Structures are given as structure tokens and as C-alpha cells.
Amino acid sequence: MTALVLKIATRSSRLALWQAEYTKSLIEVALDDVSVEIVHIKTGGDKNQTDALRLFGGIGVFTREVQTSVLKGETDIAVHSLKDLPTQPTKGLTLAGIPDRAPTADALLLPEGRTISSIDEVPQGARIGTGSPRRQAQLLNARPDLQMLEIRGNVDTRIRKLDDGEYDAIVLAEAGLRRLNLDDRISLLMSPPLLFTAVGQGALGWECRSDDERTVEILRQLTNPAVAASVEAERSLLAELRAGCHAPLGVETVVAEASLTLTAVLLSADGKNKLMATSSGETSNPSSVGVGVANSLLADGGEELVATV
Ligand SMILES: NCc1[nH]cc(CCC(=O)O)c1CC(=O)O
């Protein structure tokens, strides 16, 4: 007999469903008196597939409806890609759990999955499909000749648009491709110093109602403390910069025993200006590391770069 049934709220994209199923199995394996049901929720970000993301709703467009379902008590746990979860806390909800993180790199995809060993092998003037200012700015910094074009839709839709010839290449998170068994489509993995990752990329965040002590405790138990510390440092950096999710900001976090090092790059949208800052501290106080990096970026003129977005 199972004593407790927990309901997970999730978007219905293939990636979101994978993340919900993964969460369900972690909970059910760890706790044999708990069973988990998955509830599909449609979000504003899923309904509007035409406009560039940063032009509508922006903050929380993929997370709001999922959170509302938990707040109303229709469901108990919201599973998010942490990259898409705004840093501003939602009243009544707690980010109670963060499990193991998938690889954080970005991947370049070429037609037919042809592999290359350097960004230099991408043809001159190639049309790159990515709506992410972070990916656009860093790629332009390395290759000013490339053309950056907006792209929308879930992972499968984007790959279809590449294969239909709308783009010469697209950029997607390695994490999402691996989760969907699409890693054979990766033509080039891109990591620092070429491409610093997004805050929270590759990590999942679990929210529940702040007063739901039993669920808070379950999610806390399944948390990876090193990942939680890394993500907290990255999210405090983002919050302190007040840059939102659409700033050309990239990060790299390294945890070694009790020490955490966060490096960040902040660029102009055209990739011509690039600031970099690093700070280290104790894993027990990750937010101070994030704030330290934010302050050095701001002291070096980062405010202007954030304001141009
Ligand atoms: N913004 C969409 C989004 N949110 C999370 C992922 C991938 C999984 C992750 O980074 O955790 C993606 C797709 C992508 O950027 O390719």
C-alpha cells in the first residue's frame, strides 16, 4: 500500500516529459511508500510559437502556469529546466530540490549530423539558428562573419527546421539532446572559452508549496548539494546583475571539495565587447560568490552591456 500520492506538474514537450519521468523515478526509487502521477500543463511559451521569445511575456513564460497549478493545490511539484526558471522567487513556492546536473555544454548541429572539430570549420557567413543572446554574442565574438537568425519551437521542431534548410546550423543545449537520445546529431560541442553556458543550464529545479513540509523534505533528500551550490551562485549572479534570462551572460562553475569558483562573461549583443570576471569562495556561501562576480562585472562597465538588451 502506498501512503502518499504526489502529483508532478509539467509542460508537455518531450524534454519536459523526460524531466518529469526522471523526477518520478528518482522519488519512487528512493521512497517505496510514495507514488507519483504526472499532470500535463499548457504554458504561454508553448502556445505562442511564432514570436521571438524575448519579445513576449519574457520572464517566466515557460514556468508560470506550471507554478500556478502547484500553488492552487491541483498538483504538488513543479519540475523546471532551471535555465527557464526566473530568479525572482514565487510567493508561496520553495525551490526545494536540485538533483544531479547533466552536461552543461552547448552543441552545434549541422545538416546530416556531419561532425567537425572546431568552430573555424563552419563556412563563412553561415546562417546560425539561435534566439539566445548569450549564444549569439559569444559566437559573433569568435566568428563575426556568422549570421544569427531567430528560431523557435521545441528541440524536435528546431532540428526539423535545420534539416529543411532554413539554417546552415543551429545551437542547442547538450543536456536536452542527450535526454532525448539525439546526441548523434551533435556536430560540435562548445564549452568555455568559446561558449560559456547559461545560468542553470543542464540542471533541474523542483518547486513545491512552501508549507508542504513533507514534499519539501522529500525533494531536499534527493538534492545534489554541489549542484545546488553551483546553481545558487549562478542565480545570485544573474539576480544581482538584474539582467534577466535574455542577457548575453555566460557562466562556468567548478566545485572542488568545499570551494566553489564561478567565472562569468558578459558581452554586448554584437559580441564586440566582452567582460570576464572570476571569484571563489566556500560552497557553504554560494550567493556571496555570485554577488562578487556581479560586482566586478558591474565595476568594469557591465551595467552598460546589461542595459543594451
Ligand atoms: N530554453 C529552452 C530550454 N530549456 C532547457 C533546455 C535544455 C535543457 C537544459 O539546458 O537544462 C532548452 C533547450 C535548449 O536550450 O536547447
Is the pLDDT confidence value at 306 over 90?
A: no
Q: Which helix (H) or strand (E) holds 195?
A: none
Strands (E), 48-168: 77-81, 93-97, 106-109, 127-129, 147-149
Q: How far is the CA of 173 from the centre of ligand 1 (A)?
A: 6
Residue 231 belongs to domain with CATH number: 3.30.160.40
- Is the domain of 5 the same as that of 148? no
Give a yes or no: residue 114 inside a domain.
yes
Residue 173 belongs to domain with CATH number: 3.40.190.10
- Is the domain of 111 the same as that of 167? yes
Q: Report the nearest-CA residue for atom 8 of ligand 1.
A: 176
- Is the domain of 217 the same as that of 288? no
Q: Structural domain tally of the chain?
A: 3
Cβ-based burial of 279 (10 A; exposed 0-12, middle 13-18, buried ≥19): buried
Q: 140-144, 243-247, 251-255, 300-304: lowest mean pLDDT where? A: 243-247
| Greater pLDDT, 84 or 62 | 84
Q: If phi over 0 gives left and psi between -120 and 50 gives alpha, with beta otherwise, what is residue 36?
A: beta
Ligand 1 pocket member 154 (CB < 6 A): no
How much is the ipTM here? Answer: 0.96
Q: Confidence class of residue 48 from pLDDT cuts 50, 70 and 90?
A: low
Give a yes or no: residue 238 inside a domain.
yes
- Is the domain of 76 the same as that of 148? no
Q: What is the pLDDT of residues 13-38, one digit of tens each?
A: 999 999 999 999 999 999 999 999 99
- Is the domain of 216 the same as that of 229? no
- Is the domain of 122 the same as that of 255? no
- Is the domain of 94 the same as that of 2? yes
Q: How far is the CA of 172 from the centre of ligand 1 (A)?
A: 7
- Is the domain of 75 the same as that of 112? no
Q: Of 166, 190, 214, which closes a domain?
A: 190
- Is the domain of 166 the same as that of 211? no
Ligand 1 pocket member 201 (CB < 6 A): yes
Ligand 1 pocket member 179 (CB < 6 A): no
Q: Report the nearest-CA residue for atom 15 of ligand 1.
A: 173
Ligand 1 pocket member 83 (CB < 6 A): yes
- Is the domain of 238 the same as that of 168? no
Q: Which of 201, 206, 251 to probe ligand 1 with, by most ligand atoms within 8 A of CB?
A: 201
- Is the domain of 159 the same as that of 138? yes
- Active site (catalytic) residues: 83-84, 134-135, 152, 158, 245
Q: Confidence class of residue 167 from pLDDT cuts 50, 70 and 90?
A: very high
pTM over 0.90: yes
Q: Confidence class of residue 54 from pLDDT cuts 50, 70 and 90?
A: low
Give a yes or no: residue 195 inside a domain.
no
Distance CA 151, CA 27 (A): 35
Host domain of residue 44? 1-100+203-223
Q: What percent of the chain stands above pLDDT 90?
A: 85
Q: Phi then psi for 87, rounded to 5 degrees? A: -75, -30
Radius of gyration of the chain (CA): 19
Is the pLDDT confidence value at 130 over 60?
A: yes
Cα first-last separation, the chain: 54
Write the CA distances from 246 to 54, 71, 122, 222, integer angstroms. Answer: 7, 26, 25, 30
Give a yes or no: residue 80 inside a domain.
yes
- Is the domain of 39 the same as that of 72? yes
